[in-house]
Structure 1
């Protein structure tokens, strides 16, 4: 095949592939077609002459010892004695190569070659795209909505590939329109033989919140503030545990921003999800108490992975939160099963204190009237 290198360079440039990978695909394709159309029992090799830009197909015959049993395979092996008739300096283990004419290939063989080459080039493109997007797993990607099916799944075009944002991975109540730009976490990628590359996105994973915070908060991006953990009930509420690498930086203040500008920007992207920022503590008791904010905790006692939290009756609704959302998030964030326990006799103590204060006041009034008398 004349000027094959020009063809290879053209394919590589057009498809964004390396010349080496396309060259290998061409050689593998010609060898496969040769086995299919010429003789499947023959060992073939293909080479590209870079100087003349031509492709050459060879039959490869290995030189073996005269008493070797494989010498009976005349197609692929030749004895040393026979080989020396062609080259007096040849040794056992060397190879004889005979060029086969590509010009005599039938039309069906040529068509098969182009089909095989097209298939291999497509696989190369998919592999390159797979490697590209695999490196972005867990990162935010953006693209335009191209279709929404009857099941509510959203199809988004990112660069040269179409990906899916399943309905289950969409924040409740979120609606998208064709042409709208959507950002989401690249959650999963695989290659399917029928459909090629399949990429799944998500907007409900806690990783989405983490990556948005990295984009919005320079201290997190630079590593001065670390996200220890985060928990989400998508579209409703989230909790983020933060710690500072530098003592001079307030991790919560840096993340929230002046007048809440940073955290509000993240919340807006997540359909106004309420985000609580707390400072992480290596002491589980303190960590759990902070995770239950805005409730004020009296004490925390740990029993393996269970935390018994004592709390006053007026703080209990805050600790639980609407539909139990606050305690659920606190448990998800800390990894502890949280059990709330009301402080004993809290109400009685308050009543007794009020009575004591009233009696004291009455006694003072009596003493005051006696002195006046």
Structure 2
């Protein structure tokens, strides 16, 4: 079985696998082959010695001299008396091992071993790919479009696999053709029993916006600015809440960039998606007020997970936004159900006039 050690090194080098992992999979393949050749009910072990020789052993359990199992099964059990004659240091409950050979068992055993090796190495490759891309979830990847099917699923070649960008994960109006280079975020990685490892890409996820901002804004990449949360209606508008970890950095200014150069670069990648950048506040009323921008809010009242937003009537259309997009994004970003309450501008004006009259009469109290 000396040639097996060469196979192990060859597989590890060719597929970029850890040699110890390959050894373990080869051991499993050998044990499964032995079970098919010698019998399913026996216990087997595989060892690789210091000279890289691979050896297969059958295990046999040591039992008491009067154990009834000796009469029924002398392949799995050996008496302590007989075992002592082989190795004086053993005791009841220990195991003896007998070396077996697969070299002279013919073509059937060789074919079985080949199939077992192929299966276990393929599983190891898939596990490595799965672990690699699972760690990349939420990160940007680049790939080349190799196929677009009838359902408008775009298949993108990324290193050693093909990922899929489905129609629902594309920004509305985007069309890709074979040869295009696509930038997207890894949305999900999962293992399919029939199809193997599947990597799902997205250009509509808020995580794609987060990843683009991280790539474009050094202060975010370096941790001086943290993205607290973001919300998107892909291709139309987005809101992102950020916070600075140092008082020396203006988070909104740094993220937007001089003359909007940074945020515009991100918007361009998102097919012109408008992006509102606001500073996060741990105080819900302040956070909601900022999230409702560009509307000017008079006050906010919190009732459990509902926020009653008071505003002047002329601000209502801005608060709602086109097709309700502004209030929807503000709700998504803050996690509050938002209810608008109009304030009568005449009533407010009268209240202000009354306050002025009282102040004229009594001064500051």
The answer on whether the counterparts of 1:145 and 1:178 sit within 8 Å (CA) in structure 2 is yes
Please state whether the residue corresponding to 2:41 is helix, strand or coil. Answer: coil
Larger CA Rg, structure 1 vs 2: 1
1:112-154 deviation line (CA, Å, top 9, x unaligned): 1101100111000000111111111121111111111111111
CA distance, structure 1, for counterparts of residue 334 and residue 275 of structure 2:
16
The answer for the alignment partner of 2:6 in structure 1 is 6
The answer for the alignment partner of 1:58 in structure 2 is 57
| C-alpha deviation, 1:42, in angstroms | 2.0
The answer for the alignment partner of 1:126 in structure 2 is 126
CA distance, structure 2, for counterparts of residue 22 and residue 163 of structure 1:
26
- What is the alpha-carbon root mean square deviation over aligned residues? 1.8
The answer for the alignment partner of 2:313 in structure 1 is 313
CA distance, structure 2, for counterparts of residue 66 and residue 123 of structure 1:
44
Stretches of structure 1 that go unaligned for 5 or more consecutive residues are: 354-373
Q: Evaluate the alpha carbon distance shift between residue 295 and residue 90 of structure 1 in structure 2; reply closer, same or farther with a 3 A threshold.
A: closer
CA distance, structure 2, for counterparts of residue 91 and residue 112 of structure 1:
36
| C-alpha deviation, 1:348, in angstroms | 9.1
The answer on whether the counterparts of 1:5 and 1:50 sit within 8 Å (CA) in structure 2 is no
The answer for the alignment partner of 2:230 in structure 1 is 230
| C-alpha deviation, 1:95, in angstroms | 2.6
Please state whether the residue corresponding to 2:327 is helix, strand or coil. Answer: helix
CA distance, structure 1, for counterparts of residue 153 and residue 209 of structure 2:
21
The answer for the alignment partner of 2:98 in structure 1 is 98
The answer for the alignment partner of 1:27 in structure 2 is 27
Question: How many pairs were matched up?
Answer: 351
1:157-236 map, 5 Å: 157-236=157-236
Q: Structure 1 length as normaliser, TM-score?
A: 0.90
| C-alpha deviation, 1:349, in angstroms | 4.4
1:131-170 map, 5 Å: 131-170=131-170
Stretches of structure 2 that go unaligned for 5 or more consecutive residues are: 354-365
The answer on whether the counterparts of 1:45 and 1:58 sit within 8 Å (CA) in structure 2 is yes
| C-alpha deviation, 1:331, in angstroms | 1.0
1:71 is the counterpart of 2:70: yes
Please state whether the residue corresponding to 1:315 is helix, strand or coil. Answer: helix
The answer on whether the counterparts of 2:227 and 2:243 sit within 8 Å (CA) in structure 1 is yes
| C-alpha deviation, 1:341, in angstroms | 1.5
The answer on whether the counterparts of 1:312 and 1:346 sit within 8 Å (CA) in structure 2 is no
CA distance, structure 2, for counterparts of residue 2 and residue 332 of structure 1:
63
The answer on whether the counterparts of 2:312 and 2:345 sit within 8 Å (CA) in structure 1 is no
Q: Structure 2 length as normaliser, TM-score?
A: 0.91
1:299-333 deviation line (CA, Å, top 9, x unaligned): 11122211111211221111111111111111111
The answer for the alignment partner of 2:243 in structure 1 is 243
CA distance, structure 2, for counterparts of residue 298 and residue 42 of structure 1:
80
Q: Evaluate the alpha carbon distance shift between residue 262 and residue 91 of structure 1 in structure 2; reply closer, same or farther with a 3 A threshold.
A: same
Please state whether the residue corresponding to 2:162 is helix, strand or coil. Answer: strand
CA distance, structure 1, for counterparts of residue 25 and residue 300 of structure 2:
65
| C-alpha deviation, 1:345, in angstroms | 4.8
| C-alpha deviation, 1:197, in angstroms | 0.4
